Structure 1
Amino acid sequence: MAHIKLTNEELPGIIGLLNHRPETAKPLLDLAETLLRGTSTLTSGEREIIAASVSYWNDCHFCHTSHAAAAAAHLNLGLPLIDDIKAGLPETPISAKMRALLNIAHQVQRGGKNVSLEDVDAARNQGATDDEIHDTVLIAAAFCMYNRYVDGLGTWAPQANEDYIEMGERMAHVGYGKF
């Protein structure tokens, strides 16, 4: 049960919050659509990994698991990706550039001023463009907000990874236009 009375108490995580306040849902969904599925040289799967990683570091189970499931759907990697993200991706082959971008995302999650020029240079040295660095910082910052929105209002979330398969598929292949 959320900390406030929602229009539909059966909807988990951010879905219940978006349903409750459609006027704020639209810009939040538009932002997610742009950040995670819009034009970028980072794949949607890579961007979902950033969102899922930040959400895990913020201890937001709903956002971590739903976005990891979306990453798994984009990358055809299956549910083991959800737990691999929690472990720092030891089993998932990702590029050195992606690891450097995840480091930047982690610094943003800890606090924006934790991102150093050395972090940015390390990402550039692995081939990251300024736009990819920009998008990584914005995804990380946005997901800190989304995580605090979901957890700050005490929403409920299914616990099992399997409960997120359909949601992840929908996020990956339909998008964020409507929940």
Structure 2
Amino acid sequence: MAHIKLLNEELPGIVGLLNYRPETAKPLLELAETLLRGESTLTSGEREIIAASVSYWNQCHFCHTSHAAAAAAHLQSGLSIIDDIKAGLPQTNVSDKLRALLNIAHQVQRGGKHVTETDIAAAVELGATDQEIHDTVLIAAAFCMYNRYVDGLGTWAPVPNEAYEEMGQRMAHVGYGKA
């Protein structure tokens, strides 16, 4: 049970919180839509992997699993990617550039000042653009906020990966905050 009385206690994770405060839901959903589905040279699947990874490092089960399920939908990889992200993607074919961007995201998750010139140079050497680095840092920072919002209010989350499949499909193919 959440730390506050939600309008619908059956809605998991951020879904219940967005339902509780529609006026704050709108900008939060617009930010997620822009970061994860907006124009970018990074695919939506890659950006969902960044969001899911940061969420895993923050121990936010709901956000990790839902965004990993969205990555699975984008990449048509199956739900096994949910656990593969936890393991550092040993079974998922991702570019060295994405791995370098994930390192930057992890540094942001630890604290923004942990990002070093060496981290940035490694990503640039592997082909990352300034916009991709910018977007990676913003996704990581935003998901630290989303994770703390979800967990700070004690929302509940289904445990099995399969419970997130439909949500992941909807996030990937319909978007955030759309009917």
**3-state secondary structure, aligned to 1:14:** helix
Please tell me whether residue 78 in structure 1 is matched to residue 102 in structure 2: no
Hey, what's the Cα distance between the residues in 2 that align with 1:162 and 1:99? 26
Give how far 1:17 is off.
0.1
Match of 1:49 in 2: 49
Aligned to 1:39: 39
Distance 1:55 1:146 in 2: 9
CA distance in 1: counterparts of 2:52 and 2:161, whole angstroms = 13
CA distance in 1, matches of 2:178, 2:30: 9
Distance 1:143 1:61 in 2: 12
Q: Which residue of 2 aligns with 1:96?
A: 96
Structure 1 residue 142: Cα displacement: 0.1
Tell me how far apart the structure 1 counterparts of residues 152 and 137 of structure 2 sit (CA, whole Å): 22
2:159 maps to amino acid: Q
Shift of 1:178: 3.5
Q: State the partner residue of 1:21.
A: 21
1:70 is paired with a residue whose SS is helix
For residue 90 of structure 2, give the secondary structure of its aligned residue in structure 1.
Answer: coil
Indicate conservation of the 8 Å contact 1:104/1:120, yes or no. yes
Question: Secondary structure at 2:54's aligned position in 1?
Answer: helix
- With the length of structure 1 as denominator, give the TM-score of the two structures: 0.99
Q: How many residues align?
A: 179
Residues 35-78 of structure 1 show CA distances to partners (whole Å, capped at 9, x for unaligned) of 00000000000000000000000000000000000000000000
CA distance, structure 2, for counterparts of residue 79 and residue 135 of structure 1: 25
* Pair 1:113-2:113 in alignment: yes
For structure 1, which runs of at least 5 residues remain unmatched after alignment? none
Q: CA deviation at 1:130?
A: 0.3
C-alpha RMSD of matched pairs (Å): 0.6
Instruction: Tell me, yes or no, if structure 1 residue 30 matches structure 2 residue 30.
Output: yes
Deviations 1:128-174 (A, max 9, x none): 00000000000000000000000000000000000000000000000
Distance in 2 (CA, whole Å) between partners of 1:94 and 1:71 is: 12
Q: 1:154 is paired with a residue of what secondary structure?
A: coil
Does structure 2 retain, via aligned residues, the 8 Å contact 1:104–1:136?
yes
The residue number in structure 2 matching 1:8 is 8
Q: How far does the alpha carbon of each residue in 1:69-98 deviate from its partner, in whole angstroms, 9 at most, with x for none?
A: 000000000000000000000000100000
Percent identity over the alignment is: 83
TM-score using structure 2 length: 0.99
Could you tell me how far apart the structure 1 residues matched to 2:164 and 2:93 are?
Answer: 22
Shift of 1:123: 0.1
